[in-house]
Amino acid sequence: MKPKTKLIHGGITGDPQTGAVSVPIYQVSTYKQEAVGKFNGYEYSRTGNPTRHALEELIKDLENGYAGFAFGSGMAAITSVMMLFNSGDHVVMTDDVYGGTYRVMTKVLNRLGIDSTFVDTTDIDAVEQAIKPNTKAVFIETPTNPLLKVTDISKVSKKAKEHDLLMIVDNTFNTPYWQNPIDHGADIVLHSATKYLGGHSDVVAGLVVVNSKSLAEELHFVQNSAGGILGPQDSWLLIRGLKTLGVRMEEHEKNTAKIVQFLSDHPDVEKIYYPGLSTHPGNNIAVNQSRGFGGMVSFDIGSAEKADELLSKVKYFTLAESLGAVESLISVPARMTHASIPKDRRDELGITEGLVRISVGLEDAEDLIEDLKNALS
Ligand SMILES: *Cc1c(COP(=O)(O)O)cnc(C)c1O
323 CA: nearest ligand 1 atom: 15
Question: What's the rounded Cα separation, in Å, for the pair 205 and 59?
Answer: 13
Mention every residue, 6+ apart, whose C-beta is less than 8 A from residue 81.
Answer: 168, 188, 190, 208, 219
- Residue 324 CA to ligand 1 center (angstroms) comes to 11
SS3 141: strand
Can you say how many angstroms the Cα of residue 266 is from the centroid of all Cα atoms in its chain? 30
- Residue 4 CA to ligand 1 center (angstroms) comes to 24
What is the mean pLDDT of each successive set of 10 residues along the chain, which is 377 residues long?
A: 95 94 97 92 97 98 98 98 98 92 95 97 98 98 95 98 98 98 98 98 98 98 98 98 98 98 97 97 97 97 96 96 95 88 82 96 98 96
Q: Whose CA is nearest to atom 4 of ligand 1?
A: 74
Question: What's the rounded Cα separation, in Å, for the pair 340 and 343?
Answer: 9
Farthest-apart Cα atoms in the chain, separation: 74
Q: Which residues line ligand 1 (CB under 6 A)?
A: 73-75, 98, 100-101, 141, 145, 170, 172, 192, 194-195, 204, 206
- Residue 74 CA to ligand 1 center (angstroms) comes to 5
- Residue 166 confidence (pLDDT): 98
Residue 113 phi, psi (nearest 5):
90, 15
- Residue 345 confidence (pLDDT): 77
Pairing mode of beta strands 206-210, 166-170: unpaired
97 CA: nearest ligand 1 atom: 13
Class of domain 245-376 as given by CATH: alpha beta
Q: Please give the CATH number for the structural domain made up of 3-243.
A: 3.40.640.10
Q: Whose CA is nearest to atom 12 of ligand 1?
A: 98
Closest CA to 68 of 226, 193, 244, 203: 193
- Residue 32 CA to ligand 1 center (angstroms) comes to 36
Element (H, E) at 71: strand 67-71
Q: How far apart are the first and last CA of the chain?
A: 47
> Annotated catalytic residue: which of 61, 170, 187, 371?
170
Told to judge if 98 belongs to the known catalytic residues of this protein, a careful annotator would answer: yes
The number of C-alpha atoms within 13 Å of 68 and in the hemisphere containing its C-beta is: 26
Bridge partners of residue 367, in order along the sequence: none
Told to judge if 195 belongs to the known catalytic residues of this protein, a careful annotator would answer: yes
Tell me the domain boundaries of the chain: 3-243, 245-376
144 CA: nearest ligand 1 atom: 13
Element (H, E) at 190: strand 188-192
141 CA: nearest ligand 1 atom: 13
Told to judge if 308 belongs to the known catalytic residues of this protein, a careful annotator would answer: no
CB atoms within 10 A of CB 312: 9
Q: Whose CA is nearest to atom 1 of ligand 1?
A: 192
Question: What's the rounded Cα separation, in Å, for the pair 22 and 169?
Answer: 30
